Amino acid sequence: MKLLKDLSTDYRFTVSFVLLVLLVVLALSSTFSPYDPIKWLQVPRDRPPSWTYILGTNSKGQDVFWEATFAIRNSLIIAIIAGVFSRIIAVLVGFVAGYKGGSIDRILMSITDGLLVIPLFLILVLVAMLLRGAMTLVNIGLLLAFFGWAWDARTIRSQVLSLREREFTQTSILSGNKTLPLVMKEYPPFTMPLILSTFINNMAWAIGMEIVLAILGLVRLEIPTLGTTLRWALTYQAMLLGHWWWILTPVALTVLLLIGLYWFSVSISEYLDPRIRIQRVGTR
């Protein structure tokens, strides 16, 4: 309760928390959908919003509201998979390279720099083209995780390098403590804000990349996501035909989700940052 009370003083946390909770509830409500998200012609086509169809229907004969619940759920699944697995790689590489140094650091940073200098978008497009038939939610998340850790690993390494030179690290080493317990016990309070913020930012990046790949037709378009929903609306020229509810729904959900993730990341990171917490205590 105290944590929520302290965080609620930041309007960014309050707004983002409410937005994310509403979007998660919307995603979970897909469980109660009376329609199959893949089948077409389940309802009358191209109906505007009404009491019967809250967000209208699309040209495929699907209820836009219930289709949106599946879209936000699946996009969140992709984002979470990408964020979790890329954080595992980034943390391992950043911690090992930053603390060990030497040849291990040079090898790991060479791999990291290699991923940073390649045209990432083109590589993702090429891989997605090769794996188009296998681009399920899990595979999209894993693909984005594999290419989405390099910059964050370098950032984490920089912070570990700074921590390695701190007085408490030198004292612990002189006291005979082993490397692994030192890194696992002493470093997380300092690195957790960065890890958490990069995790949330990576989720936002994954959502954006999925939308781009879907618009290019490089994922399985029958699976509803924010990207595929927008792709179908563009394919059927929803805006030109005046079916604004169809194209506006995925756009609005994407904007709200990205704003929620960004503000949540910033507010949580600032709260967990030990330096800012010390300043906060000093002003009381």
pLDDT of residue 10: 76
- Here the tokens at position 22 are 């509403």
pLDDT of residue 101: 76
pLDDT of residue 57: 94
Q: Let me know if residue 204 belongs to a domain.
A: yes
Q: Which residues of the chain have pLDDT under 70?
A: 1-8, 168-182, 184, 272-284
pLDDT of residue 180: 61
Domain range for 266:
26-282
Q: Let me know if residue 13 belongs to a domain.
A: no
Q: Let me know if residue 8 belongs to a domain.
A: no
Asked if residues 150 and 123 have their Cβ atoms less than 8 Å apart, the reply is no
The pTM (predicted TM-score) of the whole model is 0.88
Q: Let me know if residue 4 belongs to a domain.
A: no
Q: Let me know if residue 2 belongs to a domain.
A: no
CATH number at residue 134: 1.10.3720.10
Task: Determine phi and psi for 75, rounding to 5 degrees.
Answer: -65, -40
Give the 3-state secondary structure percentages of the chain, helix then strand then coil, rounded to 5: 75, 0, 25
Q: Let me know if residue 12 belongs to a domain.
A: no
Q: Let me know if residue 172 belongs to a domain.
A: yes
Among 54, 220, 43, 50, CA closest to 128? 220
Q: Let me know if residue 243 belongs to a domain.
A: yes
Inter-residue long-range contacts of 235-244, CB under 8 Å, 24+ positions, other chains counted: 236/58, 236/59, 236/60, 238/58, 238/59, 241/46, 243/46, 243/56, 243/58, 243/59
pLDDT of residue 274: 56
Where do we find the tokens 């409500």? 29
The number of domains in the chain is 1
DSSP letter for each residue of 177-188:
--HHHHHHHHSH
